[in-house]
Amino acid sequence: MNLYDVAIIGSGPGGYVAAIRCAQLGMKTALIEKYSTLGGTCLNVGCIPSKALLDSSHHYEDAVKHFEDHGIEISGEVKVNLEKMIARKQAVVDQTTEGINFLMKKNKIDVLEGLGSFKDATHITIVKSDGSSEEIEAKNIIIATGSKPSTLPFITLDKERIISSTEALKLKEIPKHMIVIGGGAIGLEIGQIYRRLGSEVSVIEYMDRIIPTMDKAQSKELIKVMKKQGVKFYISHKVSAVGRKGNEVTITATDKKDNEVSFKGDYCLVSVGRSPFTHGLAIENANIKINQQGQIEVNSRLQTNNKNIYAIGDVVSGAMLAHKAEEEGVFVAETIVGQKPHINYNLIPSVVYTWPEVASVGKTEEQLMEEGVEYKVGQFPMRALGRSRASGDTDGFVKILSNAKTDEVLGVHMVGARVADLIAEAVVAMEFRASAEDIARMSHAHPTYAEAVKEAALAATNDRALHI
Ligand code: FAD
Ligand code: NAD
């Protein structure tokens, strides 16, 4: 039987990054994945394919709606070839997952294809798709089995008309009317893709605002812009039933006045969150505990109640984000060899890749109010930037929240072009515990979107913004 220093179950961004770091640190490493392609949700049916379709649909929308403003005339009709668009997305996915195979070989990591399950706390059985199995022994085991789409108790995902993000990323036709349940990252990103391609899109959200975990100002700005783009929103609506007759789906909900409303469409995307995935792992054979949310319970070192078994990524508590899973993968690898790594969970940025993009790090204004922290706000609108006017991307703002006494930056919240990339500056500043004035005094290239960060920092520093 093969003996490994570490075996990792699941090859998503948590698992494969953990494997690379373990190998870099000199451990004999195995990576177990039930599917034939590596990369997990993120590379196969998540981050990468959704961004490929967001980019393709953005190009189409620019060609149809915005090229003319730039003096570019297209003679003849601009058409979408959905089949080709989806095939391109798949090619991007294939190239990316192939890249992970290369990285595994380069780092001499053994990739074992099959469903991994615990025989006991140090032995894993791997059952391949042909029914054959093998067993390995590992001194340390990392569970990185990720998550799967959640649904509501009364909804059955038929995967044809009542679908999750996985099916929405490979539709064979452009929906006439896509009804999206849930105004979080998935609902808004996929809703925007199909709105751009010509679908009517209605988003039904249970809370009183979309992207409810982000700063309220971001929710307000994004809903305003997406309404202008033609997406319809029904907030404070509680869905009570979802039915299908032939190609028609009917969604019933109650609004905030308790009136029953119904929506008819040809596709219903259910995007109400994701649940941790532990099915088939046989964790009971290793006495591993899960909590009420189905997450594997871990301590601050990401150890389960078996010291040699760790868990990371979507299967444990915290933000369900690829880069959070990656940080945890590195953290566990370094912990195993006795290093003392650290993750600042407050500074894991979150991004929604709609256009305009939405990006956040640190505390929201609502959190600071709740915690009773005295703070200052500096906000700068994108429309006041030369760069934004040049590109025509004038929606959004940068908002910096800093401590009222010390001026330390506590939260940065942005909506606008390329803010998914701009948020990195805020993370660096906050990791170094910068004050708003520190950012305000640093030179930012002109003309760039990044100037909005400097201006917002100036605004937080005694209202000193220069260009408004
Ligand atoms: P996963 O990526 O879910 O990987 C788990 C792997 O474990 C899977 O490959 C699974 O097959 C395997 N596995 C499970 N059980 C077993 C077993 N018993 N044996 C063997 N293998 C097993 N996050 C971002 O940060 N940015 C984004 O832009 C973004 N976009 C997203 C878009 C969509 C549509 C979706 C659905 C998600 C998106 N996410 C995004 C979230 C991101 O995909 C997840 O947070 C991330 O993939 C979690 O990584 P993970 O390694 O914990 O698990
Ligand atoms: P989410 O938690 O981001 O959003 C779910 C939304 O559905 C919330 O706004 C919630 O209030 C709403 N909701 C819940 N129950 C509802 C109900 N009964 N009726 C109506 N609305 C309801 O979840 P998601 O969008 O499904 O995404 C799943 C996970 O994947 C998230 O954790 C997210 O972070 C991750 N993800 C990240 C990105 C990104 O980083 N850009 C993109 C896609 C997915």
Residue 301: helix, strand or coil by DSSP? coil
Cβ 320 under 6 angstroms from ligand 1: yes
Grade residue 422 by pLDDT with cuts at 50, 70 and 90: very high
| Residue among 211, 209, 191 at smallest CA distance from 201 | 191
Alpha-carbon distance of 10 to 114, in angstroms, equals 10
Residue from 163, 206, 415 whose mutation best tests the ligand 2 pocket (most atoms within 8 A of CB) = 206
Q: Quick one: which ligand is closest to 263's CA?
A: 2
Query: What are the sequence ranges of the domains in the chain?
Result: 2-148+275-345, 162-272, 356-460
- Determine the pLDDT at residue 1: 81
What's the fold here for domain 162-272? FAD/NAD(P)-binding domain (3.50.50)
Cβ contacts of residue 271 below 8 Å, gap of 6+?
A: 149, 164, 165, 180, 181, 182, 184, 186, 187, 190
Q: How far is CA 447 from the centre of its chain?
A: 29
Structure confidence by residue, pLDDT tens digits, 257-306: 999 999 999 999 999 999 999 999 999 999 999 999 999 999 999 999 99
Task: Tell me the mean pLDDT in the region 113-130.
Answer: 97
Pocket of ligand 2 (CB under 6 A): 152, 181-187, 189, 204-207, 212, 239, 271-274, 320-321, 351-353
Residue from 44, 47, 135 whose mutation best tests the ligand 1 pocket (most atoms within 8 A of CB) = 47
Ligand 1: nearest atom to the Cα of 190:
34
Ligand 1: nearest atom to the Cα of 319:
45
Beta bridge partners of residue 133, listed in sequence order? 127
- Determine the pLDDT at residue 351: 98
Superfamily of the domain at 356-460: FAD/NAD-linked reductase, C-terminal dimerisation domain (3.30.390.30)
| 309-311 vs 133-143, strand pairing mode | parallel
Alpha-carbon distance of 369 to 385, in angstroms, equals 30
Q: Whose CA is nearest to atom 6 of ligand 1?
A: 10
Task: Tell me the mean pLDDT in the region 50-79.
Answer: 96
Cβ contacts of residue 287 below 8 Å, gap of 6+?
A: 121, 305, 306
Q: Quick one: which ligand is closest to 350's CA?
A: 2
Share of the chain above pLDDT 90, in %: 99
Grade residue 468 by pLDDT with cuts at 50, 70 and 90: confident
Q: Is the pLDDT of residue 251 over 90?
A: yes
- Determine the pLDDT at residue 430: 98
Structure confidence by residue, pLDDT tens digits, 84-106: 999 999 999 999 999 999 999 99
CB 203 within 8 Å of CB 231:
yes
Alpha-carbon distance of 352 to 412, in angstroms, equals 14
Q: Is the pLDDT of residue 343 over 90?
A: yes
What's the fold here for domain 2-148+275-345? FAD/NAD(P)-binding domain (3.50.50)
CB 315 within 8 Å of CB 328:
no
The per-residue pLDDT of the chain, averaged, comes to 97
- Determine the pLDDT at residue 462: 81
| 123-127 vs 133-143, strand pairing mode | antiparallel
Residue 95: helix, strand or coil by DSSP? helix
Q: Whose CA is nearest to atom 43 of ligand 2?
A: 186
Residue type, 276: P
Alpha-carbon distance of 34 to 232, in angstroms, equals 39
Q: How far is CA 79 from CA 64, 177, 417, in A?
A: 9, 19, 25
Ligand 1: nearest atom to the Cα of 323:
25
Task: Tell me the mean pLDDT in the region 114-139.
Answer: 97
Within this chain, domains 2-148+275-345 and 356-460 share the same CATH topology: no
Q: Is the pLDDT of residue 463 over 90?
A: no
Place of tokens 């893709």: 193
295 secondary structure, DSSP code? P
Task: Tell me the mean pLDDT in the region 126-147.
Answer: 97
Per-residue b or e along 251-265, where b marks 16 or more CB atoms closer than 10 Å to that residue's CB? bebeeeeeeeeebeb
Catalytic (active site) residue 123: no
69 secondary structure, DSSP code? G
